[in-house]
Amino acid sequence: MSVNTTPTCPTGCIYVPPSNDFDFCKSNIHQGEIEILYIAGPSAQCFTSITSLAEWNARLSETSVDPDTIRRFRVIGDMPAASSTEVPISLGQFFYTDKDFLINIEVEDNSDLNYAFMRWMECQQLLKIWYQTAGGDLFGGICGIDVSVAANYVIEKGQKSIHKQMWTLKWVSKFSPERVISPLV
């Protein structure tokens, strides 16, 4: 199981692109929407090993007040393509600013505690997250991703509609988040 690390960017004009996989017969496909969101406070310590099930289990809790505690939510989420600004530079080249990332989250479990949690997020403090897809990919690396959150409660028309919490998570980074196979699947 590989753990992605921050890429080393070339510093000059002579370099070889990094290794890649290529197979005419079978692609390595990763599936699924975001289905679990993990949340901690911004001061939560980094993991020693993001793939350690024991370390995750020691930190996951719905009620602990330890600053390293991680909360988890069942969600439906997506992450559209990140955006950046293209700046023309000399010799007909372009410079791209760091990317603006966005995750859209829907939470359907509206227990009193989860509703209170959403209202607490309206304080607009910084949070640390990791997210897991239905296919078992875990994103966020050993230290998580520091995000800003906008949270709203939505009641749609229709007697059989369900209430939803709609969260928008945003951050800026040069690179996409690190990805591993989740030890929690």
Q: pLDDT (tens digit, 9 = 90+) per residue, 24-54?
A: 898 998 999 999 999 999 999 999 999 999 9
Structure tokens at 180: 């591993």
What confidence tens digit (pLDDT) does each residue in 112-166 have?
Answer: 999 999 999 999 889 999 999 999 999 999 999 999 999 999 999 999 999 999 9
Task: Tally the domains of the chain.
Answer: 1
Q: What is the CATH number of the domain that holds 42?
A: 2.30.110
Residue at 7 is within a domain: no
Cα–Cα distance, 171 to 82 (Å, whole number): 10
Residue at 119 is within a domain: yes
What confidence tens digit (pLDDT) does each residue in 72-113 have?
Answer: 999 999 999 999 999 999 999 999 999 999 999 999 999 999
pLDDT at residue 22, rounded to an integer: 87
Angle at 67 between CA 39 and CA 52, to 5 degrees: 65
CB 59 within 8 A of CB 85: no
pLDDT at residue 19, rounded to an integer: 87
Residue at 92 is within a domain: no
Amino acid (one-letter) located at 176:
S
Residue at 62 is within a domain: yes
Residue 4 pLDDT > 80, yes or no?
A: no
Domain of residue 113, residue span: 34-78+97-181
Torsions phi, psi for 116 (to 5 deg):
-65, -40
Strand 71-78 and strand 34-40: the pairing is: antiparallel
Q: What is this structure's pTM? A: 0.92
Residue 3 pLDDT > 80, yes or no?
A: no
Residue 2 pLDDT > 80, yes or no?
A: no
Task: Please indicate whether residue 2 or residue 147 has the higher confidence score (pLDDT).
Answer: 147
Residue at 127 is within a domain: yes
Task: Please indicate whether residue 149 or residue 14 has the higher confidence score (pLDDT).
Answer: 149
pLDDT at residue 153, rounded to an integer: 97
SS3 59: helix
In this prediction, what percent of the chain has a pLDDT beyond 90?
84
Per-residue confidence band for 1, with pLDDT thresholds at 50, 70 and 90: very low
